[in-house]
Amino acid sequence: MLHRRHFLAGATISGLAAPAILRAQGYLRDYPFQLGVAAGDPASDGFVIWTRLAPEPLALHGGMPRVNVPVEWEVASDGGFRNIVAKGTELARPELAHSVHVELSGLQPNRPYYYRFTAAGERSLRGRARTLPAIGARVDAIKFGVAGCQHFEAGYFGAYRHLAKEDLAFVYHYGDFIYEYSSDYVFVDGLPSRPVRKHAFRSLTDVNEFRLAYAQQLTDIDLQAARSVHAFLSSIDDHEIVNDWVSDIANWKMGLDGNDPDAAPPEVFMLKKQAAMQAWYEHMPVRRALLPRGGMVALNRELQVGDLLSMQLLDTRQYRDDQPCGDGFKPACPDVFAKNAQVLGAAQEKWLADQMKKGGAVWNGLAQQITMMSLDRQRDMDDKRKILNLDSWAAYEAPRERMLQRMAGLGNCVVLTGDEHQNFCGDLVLKDKVVGAEFVATSISSGGDGSDKRAGTDQWLSRNPELKFANDQRGYVICDVNRDAWQSHFRVVDKVSTPTNQISTRATGLVERDLTGIKMVEG
């Protein structure tokens, strides 16, 4: 928080003259809050509030002058802002695309608050977010959302408008907030079709292009609606940078015959990653601890909901070994069983082990990006080969088994996953013993309208007895958790090819306390 005297002193020290700030306030050509407001990383005593000044979102630098601009912020206990509980001023700096991240503390636990920003004589729309219950306090129930994979060209974001109307404590966004490429066509029912809307870019290489991608994404009013009423837990997957990247490796294996010819060497890819991570930070409601340093972001962190839920947010990209067997969907090669293979990296895995050992919560949640079940992806019953998704935990059997062993010793473990552009769920099994449950949330728009089932889904289910449900529609998941059971509701929309759509609950997966396995409740 910057008090007024700190701001004035800072302006003098930085060499920024006060008249330059005043000129910036008077010469914004349009409303500066066109990318909306957001809150994130909730705790029992506060959360982060975010905005970015961008009067011309698709112009260079968002149409902002290259000077620091003061942004006033207010937090109230009521929607009419009659009872202001905190306020201050932050500088929106051009080095961070005039984004603002305010970390609030000292608020009361387990209640809603309202916030807004003012800059250059203009006021933002009102945002709302909830604090979490006090750590260790008895909590009987919590409800939260899981969403991600929102390809701007593949469909509209109407699912977010429905998500905004849900009564939730927070939303876990597992990643793929943007997509790094543009296509002239997409495939619908196996036939080429025009994208429903076009990206403003062909591909992304530097920080200004990544900023442009986020800005265009955030002009979507349905996405803004969801971010304005729910605190988001933000993570990344692959398309924030390039498809299937891991560690410092950008060479997406194109199926059968080797590397993408456009792949960058590690030292060049890390420059692109640094630009991408900076742009991600600039547009996410996250804490300063997640400010990129040398292209790396400390994404793993923990969220605690009283004594009911302990949730670890994991990073399955930055520290993972290269995908074995050349990536893709293929039979296992010997490298799948490499003893020294890493998904989380040694430091993150130790951190996770330490957090899981603490216990104390009824439920243990792992929020991450790639499927943990080792599934046979073969849908042809006449083909007896087991096909693996080599960009999932199934391609790293040693660390996957270590993870399942930790779950076996803990109990009541639920894994939340995305990336697959479909809904499915199943039991996590170690040596014929069910040790946890996994719910895979579909995409907001990636994959287009979809259908109830992909071709071969019944065969897929029959080849994987641990799988309980599969669906190929767009939407999100709502987790309704109490002391006796965890229910995950698969909320699906009828289409994303038009701006408006209808929402329904396709199925519900139920995990009873101390029983671990999933039971399905249709519709």
15-32 pLDDT tens trace: 334 444 444 455 688 999
3-state secondary structure of 364: strand
| Residue 135 located in a structural domain | no
Domain match, 53 and 184 both: no
What was the pLDDT predicted at 260? 56
**Residues 110, 176: one domain?**
no
Q: Is the pLDDT of residue 1 over 50?
A: no
User: Is there a single domain that holds both residue 331 and residue 439?
Assistant: yes
pLDDT higher than threshold 80 for residue 263: no
Would you state the pLDDT for residue 4? 33
Residues 32-67 have pLDDT tens digits of 999 999 999 999 999 999 999 999 999 999 999 999
pLDDT at residue 429, rounded to an integer: 97
Indicate whether 11 pLDDT > 50: no
Q: Are residues 91 and 149 in the same domain?
A: no
CATH of the domain at 16: 2.60.40.380
State yes or no: pLDDT of 464 exceeds 90: yes
Query: Across residues 206-212, what is the average pLDDT?
Result: 97
Question: What's residue 523's pLDDT?
Answer: 62
- Residue 504 forms beta bridges with which residues? 492
Greatest alpha-carbon span in the chain: 75
- Pair (282, 382) in one structural domain: yes
Q: How many domains, in total, are found in the chain?
A: 2
Q: Determine, yes or no, domain membership for 239.
A: yes
Residue 415 — pLDDT band, cuts 50, 70, 90?
A: very high
- What is the rounded distance in angstroms from the CA atom of residue 11 to the CA atom of residue 19? 11
For residues 36 and 148, state if they share a domain.
no
Written as one string, the DSSP assignment of 259-321 is B-TTPPPHHHHHHHHHHHHHHHHHHS---GGGS-BTTB----EEEEETTTEEEEE--SSTTPP
Per-residue pLDDT for 254 more than 60?
no
Task: Label residue 14 by pLDDT band (50, 70, 90).
Answer: very low
Say which CATH number the domain at 444 has. Answer: 3.60.21.70
Q: Which of 69, 101, 130 is the last residue before a domain boundary? A: 130
Average pLDDT of the segment spanning 273-282: 97
Which pLDDT value is given to residue 17? 41
Q: Residue with structure tokens 């988001």?
A: 232
What is the model's pTM? 0.93
Of the candidates 76, 44, 400, which has an alpha carbon nearest to the alpha carbon of residue 231? 44
Quote the pLDDT of residue 25: 52
CA gap 45, 63 in Å, rounded: 35
Provide the sign of the torsion angle of the four alpha carbons 215, 216, 220, 226, taken in this order.
Answer: negative
User: Domain range for residue 385?
Assistant: 144-522
Model confidence at 401, pLDDT cuts 50, 70, 90, reads very high
Q: Give the mean model confidence (pLDDT) for residues 324-347.
A: 97
Q: Are residues 180 and 126 in the same domain?
A: no
Where a domain ends, among 130, 156, 174? 130
pLDDT of 372 > 80? The answer is yes
| 137 part of a folded domain | no
Task: Note the pLDDT of residue 383.
Answer: 84
- Classify residue 338: in a domain, yes or no: yes
For residues 83 and 191, membership in a common domain is answered with no
Residues 117 and 233 in one domain: no
